[in-house]
Structure 1
Amino acid sequence: MHGVGDVRFFDRIAPLYDLVMPPAEAETLNAALARADHPVERVVDIGGGSGRATLALDAPEKVVLDVSAGMLRRAQNRGLDCIRGDARSLPFADESVDAVTVVDAFHHMPNQRTVAEEVYRILEPGGVFAISEFDPETPLGRGLVAAERVVRFGSSFASPRELTRFLERVGFEPSIVDTGFEYTVAAKKRESH
């Protein structure tokens, strides 16, 4: 898969990833999913890697989608349903999922506009797109941005305010769920009329 961001790095570090990353913030993620207009039955965790965030989600059907085969092996070993795929061309039918999450990964995704448009396409009306990201305007965030530049990641970070404006332009109704170094935005797909 060409041009899929920093996938080679994640293939290499897959065995160590869960040892160095903190667990996902279950309460915040589930609060974001609760902003959907209907119960979340089916959720897709894009860039879900080893499944550490997917496990925290409160939904009966959870799917991890990632481009990194190494990370997906970790998720499969946890008993999660996995699909190897590119977020810019999601292998799901229109309006077929209740929620989509991206945890600590949106900044690694090339063509974020295309990714957001694909998420909008597969979400049911009233469904929610929950993104947890790192705020580059915080002291820790500035350090993370600098570190990712040093290792030559192609990262593209946004503050909560910038991310909500971006999601509005795609057609979502976003709201900020949590702020700080790691923040969460929940973006609802408008109900069709």
Structure 2
Amino acid sequence: MSNIMPFERYTARYEKWFEDNVPVYSSELDALRVNMPSFSRGIEVGVGSGRFAAPLNIYLGMDPASSMLDISRKRGIEVVRGVAEKLPFADSSFDLVLMVTTICFLDDIASAFREVNRILMPGGSFVMGFIDKNSPVGRSYQEKKANNIFYNLATFYSVEDAVSLLNASGFDDLFFTQTIFRDLKGIKDLEPVLHCHGQGSFVVIRAVK
């Protein structure tokens, strides 16, 4: 992530989104939980402020934005500063790597996926949550990205894009969950979590090495 300024400068605004959109955030967490394997050593790459790592019991996170890492640390997460395209970990170090709403901010997604594959143990899982480019929320974000301090930096991906990149990086077995079936402003309660993809705007892919 070459431009981390918005995440350094507008940390409070980033955190406020979660406070203002609790049902959306909780639904995304549920979609991740359903698709999470058991693990003994996990890391979230692009951990941000730890909003996903902490409730999912992942206690190691990496991010390039120091102000975000400060908040993650307060949530009980051990933090490392770095970028996904050059992970500072040895081969086969983890049995779980998590990325949530991170792929759209990567400078080189193919390199990042290869790095994830490298640090995963054989049989380990790469769990990735993201907004599908072709979904209603994805289309809305793209239409409004010029006026959003975070998403004006983003490159959005479809599920098909993500699958192709995962396959090219050496991941074969893929499992899907999805949620967020309405416009975000209309969500006042938890959204359902379904398997597969193509209906929900937030998609989780678990890819096994």
TM value normalised by structure 1: 0.86
- Structure 2: distance between partners of 1:28 and 1:127: 19
User: What 5-or-longer segments of structure 1 have no aligned partner?
Assistant: none
- Which of 110-119 and 136-145 deviates more? 136-145
Q: Is the 8 A contact 2:35 2:175 kept in 1?
A: no
Identity of aligned residues (%): 28
CA offset at residue 162 of structure 1? Answer: 2.0
2:207 corresponds to which residue? 187
2:189 corresponds to which residue? none
- Structure 1: distance between partners of 2:67 and 2:13: 11
2:184 corresponds to which residue? none
Distance of aligned partners of 1:103 and 1:41 in 2 relative to their CA distance in 1, 3 Å threshold: same
Aligned Cα root-mean-square deviation (Å): 1.7
2:42 corresponds to which residue? 43
- Which of 102-111 and 151-160 deviates more? 151-160
Query: CA offsets per residue over residues 29-82 of structure 1, 9 Å max, x none?
Result: 233222xxxx401111111100000012145xx211000001111111112111
CA offset at residue 27 of structure 1? Answer: 2.8
- Which of 144-153 and 109-118 deviates more? 144-153
- Structure 1: distance between partners of 2:135 and 2:31: 19
2:14 corresponds to which residue? 17
- Structure 2: distance between partners of 1:84 and 1:147: 30
2:71 corresponds to which residue? 74
- Confirm whether residue 147 of structure 1 aligns to residue 175 of structure 2: no
Question: How many aligned positions are there?
Answer: 180
Distance of aligned partners of 1:15 and 1:154 in 2 relative to their CA distance in 1, 3 Å threshold: closer
CA offset at residue 133 of structure 1? Answer: 0.5
- Structure 1: distance between partners of 2:91 and 2:157: 27
SS at match of 1:153: helix
2:4 corresponds to which residue? 7
